[in-house]
Every structure is written in C-alpha cells, then in structure tokens.
Amino acid sequence: MAAIGTPIGEGGIGIVRVSGPLAEEIAAKIFEPKNPVSRLSSHRLYYGKIKNLEDGSMVDEVLLTLMRKPKTYTREDILEINCHGGILVLQKVLELTLKEGARLAEPGEFTRRAFLSGRIDLTQAEAVVDIVRSKTKRALSLATQQLKGQIYEEIRNIQERIIYILSHLEAAIDFPDEDIDILNPTSLTSHMEREVIQPLKAMIAHYEKGRIYREGISTIIIGKPNVGKSSLLNVLLKENRAIVTPIPGTTRDVIEEFINIKGIPVKIMDTAGIGPPKDDIEAAGIERARERLSKAEIILFMVGVSDGLDESDFELYREVNDKPVIVILNKMDLVSENSLPIPLEAFSGKRIVRISALHNQGIDGLREIIFKTIVKDRIDSTIPLFVPNTRHKMAVEKAIHSLVQAKEGLTQAISPELIAVDIQASLDHLGEVIGVTTPDDVLDRIFSQFCIGK
Ligand SMILES: Nc1nc2c(ncn2[C@@H]2O[C@H](COP(=O)(O)OP(=O)(O)OP(=O)(O)O)[C@@H](O)[C@H]2O)c(=O)[nH]1
Ligand SMILES: [Mg+2]
C-alpha cells in the first residue's frame, strides 16, 4: 500500500511512502540511483531519479530509502521517496507506485499495520493522532508519554493483579472442598479495592486533565455590540484575525482560534455582539453566538466602560452569571478609575479584569486570570504521567463496574463461578484499552481519524 505521507501543498519536500512486500520491487523499477548498485542496502539514503516507465524520462530527483523488515514502523518493508514537493510531482510518483502494484493506503493504515503487527499497542497508535494534533508543548509531551507505552504498562500491571485474584477464584472453583483459605473474602476484596479499583479510578481522574490538554478549554468572548470583543481576540492572538470597526454589529460568524496559556490550549471564540439585531444577518449571528455560549466552559463577559452599562448588558450577564465568568472591563484608556461609570457591585463574586484591548494593556493579567480559572475549577497544574482518552475512560469505567460487582459477590459469598465471570469481564474491558480485545468497528473508528499516509 502506498500514500503521500506529507501534507498536501507546496512543501520543501514531500514524501511518498510504500509499505509491504512489493516495496523493494517497486524501488527497483522506478528508481535509478546516481551511482548504480546491484541491490539497495536497508535504511540508507540514496540519491537518484524517479523515471517515467513509458519513455524513461525523469519525473523528479529524489532521496530514497528502503527499509527492510522487521525494523520498520509497520514491521513490513517500507520505501520512502523524498520528492521535491509540489502536489503534481508527488501524485505522479504515487501513481507510478500504484502502477507497479501498490494499493492506495486508507487513512491511518500505516499505523494500523504497526498495531496489527504488534509493534505498538492501541494507546500508542492513538498517541500518534494526538501528537499530530497537539496544540501546545505540554499536550505534546503527554501524547509522547503515551507513545512510549505508559498507559499500556499501567493497564498490563493492573491486569496482572486481576489475574492473581482470578487464580484464587479458580482454585476455589477447582477445589471446592479445600475450604475458605483459598478464598478469604475479606482480604481478597480489600486487595481488589486497593490494588485494582483505586488505580483504575485514578486513571479516570486523569481523564479530565487530559481532555483539556487534548481538546483545549473552550472560552467564549461575549458582550454587547462594539465593546471590543474582536479587538481582544486579536490582541490575544497577536494578529489581526477578526475585523474590527467602529460600527456595531461587525462580527457575525463565530471565529475560533487556539492560544496557549502556560501550556494549556485555550480555544477562544469571538462572537457577534448580543443585543437587539438590526437585520436578519445580525440576528443569525446572535443565534450562533448563543449556541456556542451554551457549550462554552469559560465565559469572558465584556463591557465597554466608556459607555456605561445598559439593560442589555445586565440581561446578558444574568444569562451567564451562574457559569464560570470573568468580567472584562474594556476601553479603560477612555475613563479614569475614579470616575468609572460601572456599578461594580453588580458583578460581585466574579473576577473582574480591567483592560484596553486597543492599547494592549492588562492582557497579561487577563491571561493569568484565565489560567487561574482553569486551574481552580478543573485541574491542578501538575502533569500526570499519562492521560486516557474518552475511549479508554469508557472501557475503564466498564471494568470498574464489573469489579465492583465481583466485590459485592465476594462479600455476599455467591458462587465463585459467577464472580469469575465478572472478573473475566473486567479483564476484557481493560484489554479493549490496549487493543487486545478491541472489536473491529472500534478499530475502524480510531484509525479513520488519521490522515492518509500516517
Ligand atoms: N478606546 C478604545 N477603543 C477600543 C478598545 N477596544 C476596542 N475599541 C474600539 O471599539 C470599536 C469596536 O471594536 P470591536 O473589537 O470591533 O468590537 P466588537 O465587540 O467585536 O464589536 P461587534 O463585532 O460589532 O460586536 C473599534 O473601533 C475598536 O477600535 C479599547 O480598549 N479602547
Ligand atoms: Mg466583533
């Protein structure tokens, strides 16, 4: 199978990758090394050209590597052709490999093969997606830990402990007359709780942390038209992403971008000013803003201090004040603190930040407050060794459920056969996490998130 392994576009170089038994044969047909060799050595870079099979003309000058199995990503033979980039050249080279018998790879197929060949476990395969998508260095370091197999190790350890419990049960099943010693319910249940259930619960606690690093915290800027929402987005991003004008109702669509606050990816959304709409377009924009508002995790409620507050500010504030809100007083350059025309007591209990988006003042303070809000409400700032994703979390939850059931069974002294069924189920659920007992459709879903060529 073959694919273009680099993003589509004009890059400095682009890579066509082929994996499978035909790799070497394809290289021999389409590649002409500058210094002819009888046979390509493995894991070496060769300079030469890719030629058109019909007329022998040159398609591109390339650097080519043949990696013979088993020391490769997929544990199959892999051919990598570094071309000069340019989508036409890459496509032409890819076409040549297809003509010589390769098949176009499906999304994630390289990594799927690495998984199926046993080179990596499923959590490591998923880490590949996370690494590609990482938005901050810290998110990347978490994904890299996962790639090293940390989750795999932890799950394996816990499975070992469950197997130990299971062996006790089986002994009790096989030798029913040997009596209670094999199956001491009190010590077995406390062992289960301490060595198995607690560590699994700790994994789930890591999940929320990890989700934030993976997906970012969704943070929305809302307020009346013209208070300076788009100006704030732009200063946070340090680029002129959104249109800013003195005309109220400038922004209509939701604009979203990621910023990095101390390693936490924060998704910032700029929205249409909320108030009585002047036309249908503005009304549609407001509807979109409200839709996002309902799902946002942190709300930056902005007012323009120069104009004072009116009923539509208060109305909007009432809509959001039971959520994590940071009140932003913008345009502080226009008024002095002493003559602030804002009744601050209306926002009692909320964090209030004074800024001037236009003059880039108070922005570092705002970033700090956003960080504090995230850390206080959701995560402590220590980095866990590994973090499960939603799929892992669901499987671990099922495992815990089975284990709790088994524990109850033990205390109620029901027959060991029935308890063993629950214990076995917990092992299977944990097997799903690392890909030992994962059904095919789940695998399909995981690998379809990859780009072709990964
Ligand atoms: N003096 C001053 N003007 C500002 C400040 N922030 C924004 N403005 C001005 O206020 C006007 C509106 O700014 P925008 O950022 O477009 O406001 P908005 O809230 O996105 O407006 P809509 O998209 O229409 O809802 C522009 O003329 C900005 O230059 C500020 O801190 N001080
Ligand atoms: Mg705007």
Intervals of the chain under pLDDT 50: none
Token couple for 169: 């049960």
pTM exceeding the 0.85 threshold for the entire prediction: no
433 phi, psi to nearest 5 deg: -60, -45
Query: CA-CA distance, 352 to 327, in Å (whole number)?
Result: 5
Check residue 168 and give its pLDDT.
81
Return mean pLDDT, the chain: 86
Decide: residue 202, CB within 10 A, 0-12 exposed, 13-18 middle, 19+ buried.
exposed
Q: Report the C-alpha dihedral over residues 198, 199, 203, 205, rounded to 10 degrees.
A: 40
Share of the chain above pLDDT 70, in %: 91
**Atom number, ligand 1, closest to the C-alpha of residue 361:** 31
Q: What is the pLDDT of residues 299-356, one digit of tens each?
A: 999 999 998 899 989 999 999 989 899 999 999 999 998 888 889 999 989 999 999 9
Convert the pLDDT of each residue in 96-127 to its tens digit: 999 999 988 887 888 888 888 888 888 888 87
Calculate the alpha carbon distances from 390 to 65, 154, 203, 210 in Å.
37, 17, 11, 10
Q: Measuring from atom 30 of ligand 1, which residue has the nearest CA?
A: 331
Pairing of strands 217-223, 78-83: unpaired
- Residue 450 CB neighbours (<10 A): 21
Is ligand 1 within 6 A of the CB of residue 249? Answer: yes
**pLDDT for 207-227, tens place per residue?**
767 777 777 889 999 999 999
Pick from 358, 360, 363, 366 the residue to mutate for probing ligand 1's pocket: most ligand atoms within 8 Å of its CB. 358
- Please state whether the peptide bond connecting residue 70 to the residue before it is cis, i.e. omega within 30 degrees of 0: yes
Per-residue pLDDT tens for 13-36? 788 999 999 999 999 999 999 988
- Which of 244, 313, 332 has most ligand 1 atoms within 8 Å of CB, for mutation? 244
Q: Ligand 1 atom closest to Cα of 231?
A: 15
Under 8 Å between Cβ of 356 and 365: no
Name residue 356's amino acid.
S
Give the residue carrying structure tokens 């051919």: 79
Start-end of H helices in 333-415: 363-377, 390-411
Provide the 10 A C-beta neighbour count for residue 166: 18
